[in-house]
Amino acid sequence: MPVIDSHLHLFRSVSESYPRTIYPGLAEADLDVPAEKLITLMESAGVDKAIVVPLGPEDHYLAEIVKQYPGRFAGVGVYDKNAPDQAKNLDDRIKKSSIQGIRIGEVDANTDTPDDPRQFSMFPLLEAMAERNLRVWFYAESSQVQLLEKVLDVLPELTVVFNHCGFMVSLTNLAIDQYHRPHFTTEMPPPTLDLLGRLAERPNTYTHFSGQYAFSHDPYPYADMLPVADFIYKTFGPNRMLWASDFPWIVEQPGYPEQLALVDHLLPNLTQTERQKITGGTAASLFDF
């Protein structure tokens, strides 16, 4: 069974050919993270394939590498808030860059959210994604997760992958650490596990096993993540967990192979079959390469 890195970022330095979103302190305009750098690390760590998520709605480099390395990469796009027609935007991006999902960070931006989920600002996009069998990559604060729960009552067929162990984050808590990685201030274990567990009762929900560095208060291998790892193992199970590196933020610390080794550090009692599911089998069931 292939080993699949289920969430990472590849991008070029900003140019006319490669426009992209800039994140000060994290992904400055001159930062260049080409596919070749990742492939070298993947091969040394025994990782076969990867799911690439751009930094923003610009798919230029994603489209290029999916074609350049057939069978190696699958793509998840990022929500384009400026698209006048979300359904058409999806169809255009599926055709041009072969995206198989969209990453979003909210369900409704209104301060006075309506009761009917069909009136949520993101519902047309989510409905269009359900119709096209696209995966929702979800990374948001708990209030938005509660709204997503209402959407799933209406769109139960929608497949949702909660990013980074299902942590529910607010950008107001985002900092950049000494290794130029994102870090969020949160309790360990987080108080949102009950909400995550409620979402896990729905069969079309999944979670990444990734991003531990961004929340842990401990050095590698992040011992304070053990209760979180145990919780998502018990609630989602290996068939709905996807290991991911969150490359490139982890290259310097803890390192790419060390990120894969967290599966064994934090889930030491897995059977071989369960480990294979988490490190690739689940991703292979959701994505075409």
Of the listed ranges 52-61, 171-180, 189-198, 245-254, the one predicted with least confidence: 171-180
Write down the pLDDT at residue 257. 98
Please give the DSSP secondary-structure letter assigned to residue 279.
Answer: I
Find tokens 């990444």 and name the residue: 208
The span from the CA of 93 to the CA of 68, in Å, is 17
Query: How does pLDDT run across 243-277, given as a tens digit for each residue?
Result: 999 999 999 999 999 999 999 999 999 999 999 99
- Band (pLDDT 50/70/90 cuts) for residue 171 is confident
Q: What is the CA 274 to chain-centroid distance, rounded?
A: 20
Overall average pLDDT of the 38-57 stretch: 98
| Percent of the chain topping pLDDT 70 | 100
Put residue 222 in one of left, alpha, beta given phi > 0 → left and psi -120 to 50 → alpha. Answer: left
How many angstroms separate the CA atoms of 229 and 57, rounded?
31
* Amino acid 173: pLDDT: 86
List all residues 6 or more positions away from 167 whose beta carbon is below 8 Å from its beta carbon.
184, 186, 190, 192, 211, 214, 215
Question: Residues near 36 by Cβ (< 8 Å), separated by ≥ 6?
Answer: none
Task: Look at residue 143 in the predicted model and tell me its pLDDT.
Answer: 95
Give dist(CA 138, CA 283) in Å, integer.
16
CB 225 within 8 A of CB 232: no
User: Does residue 109 surpass a pLDDT of 90?
Assistant: no
* CATH class of segment(s) 4-286: alpha beta
User: What distance in Å separates the CA atoms of residue 122 and residue 131, rounded to the nearest whole number?
Assistant: 14
pLDDT greater than 90 at residue 139:
yes
Q: Please give the mean pLDDT across all residues of the chain.
A: 97
Return the C-alpha torsion angle 164, 170, 175, 176, nearest 10: 40
Residue extents of the structural domains in the chain: 4-286
| pLDDT for residue 111 is more than 90 | no
Strands of the sheet with 4-8, listed across from one edge = 4-8, 49-52, 73-78, 99-104, 135-138, 160-162, 205-209, 241-243
Confidence band, pLDDT 50/70/90 cuts, at residue 103: very high
Per-residue confidence (pLDDT) for residue 177, from 0 to 100: 94
pTM: 0.97
Q: What confidence score (pLDDT) does residue 14 get?
A: 98
H helical segments located in the chain: 35-45, 60-68, 86-97, 123-131, 142-154, 193-200, 226-235, 256-266, 272-276, 282-286
The pLDDT of residue 18 is: 97
User: What does the chain come to in residues?
Assistant: 289
pLDDT of amino acid 130: 98
